[in-house]
A and B are shown apart, each in its own frame.
Chain A
């Protein structure tokens, strides 16, 4: 004879909680997708902002090519002498063509196209550049010189990034709350279904903790099983989405890459789901038993 008698009926006979692992799978699937999406976007946004945060672009749009050449040299010298600027480089024709390709298509950038000269400026991470003063100095050289520090775009981008991440966290929170509610309902249904068994166990001298343990073990299994299924489905979904979207970006934006190490952390989700289910079931059972004689 076994040392432990499983006094609750077999799981297959549990009409009230039979579907719970599947519900848990859906909950974990949604949580994992929300988290993975958030992590990937965070990673991608991080790279983009990293690229742009210490860069300035100077466009010289004077129509006269000779004059423009002089202005490029003058502006390059001016920038190199400005404190806080580490590096100034003029983009060559091939680089400019690549930048325009997403809009004009490959091979459509012809030599008669009026393309400005572009200076790529790298700003020091330790020193601050006085951009207003710099703009003033560049304006003195020519009114056809434009300085873009990407701040307006970057600011909107950061706001979007925050919104997406907070939304993902909000979804996660809602899913966790919904999971707790479902486990509470499931536990109560399970207790109602096993009312007779619980009463008999009480009469035979079982402690509340012993009865609660049977329920919490069962719900922990539901959480773990559902969690593993949900996480696998989420991984499959995400990999499929990345695979399908690999050609869509076409150079406009860089597709966020799959942050393997970070996403690997998500394997804790099924355990987290199991712990939530277990604790919720225990608290629910103990509270309900506490109201009995």
Chain B
């Protein structure tokens, strides 16, 4: 699905923010992307959602060399990627339903079918009463759900989420995580960038850890690696196996907010 080979990236003439990044992600896999602030998580995500080009190295996605693809080909790839931005990036002048409908409209969908599809999804994420609300009138959690709905409305092959739980309370964060896990089970390759180590340790997923622009893949359950990390909390680690049960395939609004990890 995603293949990076010795990828480096710099902004302008600055120093490299990503250095020699090499990895291979299989279709349908779920990964967390972790690292301290400034480690390069957002830059790596930008490369993956094709908002930046690598300064060097090779990026293959969807079996094509997207790193050197022509501009006119990029929209075709971008339509296969769903992105949940840290700050949501919703269009404030459009309603929730219009925001979620944008990817379908861009792909050439027609009014009636779009409407039905979007309404179903917004109902599924618990926003049935807020469909015609504009983002400035939505709460942080509601915006997050609109952003997520927009990212998944076309059943993307790849879902990228940048700090999707960064702006919401723990209960909403847990809801969001359940949604991602469910989508992943449906076959969407998922990468979630987060600072929230509690969230990471509560899920059975491999981890892509960035440190000073370099990437390290940590297999799920690799205690040795996790013990070496500065912010490791043994008590939290031990409770993880219990909390993993939370991420079952349930309807989003059926998740019990009280049993947080």
Contact = CB atoms under 8 A, between A and B. Distances in A.
6 contacts: A1-B98, A1-B118, A196-B89, A207-B75, A290-B71, A293-B51
Contact of A1 (B92, B97, B150): B97
Interface residues of A, number: 24
B242 to A, nearest CB: 37
Contacts of B235: none
B51 A197 contact: no
A204 B72 CA distance: 14
B42 interface: no
Nearest to B89: A200
A221 interface: no
Nearest to A290: B71
Given A3-B110, A204-B78, A293 B52 contact: yes
Contacts of A9: 92-93
A8 B130 CA distance: 22
B4 interface: no
A131 interface: no
Interface of B: 49-53, 71-72, 74-76, 78-79, 83, 89-94, 97-98, 101-103, 105-107, 110-112, 114-115, 118, 150
A5 B52 contact: no
Interface of A: 1-5, 7, 9-10, 13, 196-197, 199-208, 210, 290, 293
B132 to A, nearest CB: 11
A202 B78 contact: yes
B93 A205 contact: no
The 10 tightest CB contacts between A and B, nearest first, are A205-B79, A1-B115, A205-B78, A9-B93, A205-B75, A3-B111, A1-B111, A5-B105, A206-B106, A204-B103
Contacts of B72: 207-208
Given A203-B83, A205-B106, A210-B106, A5 B98 contact: yes
Contacts of B106: 201, 204-206, 210
A5 B114 CA distance: 11
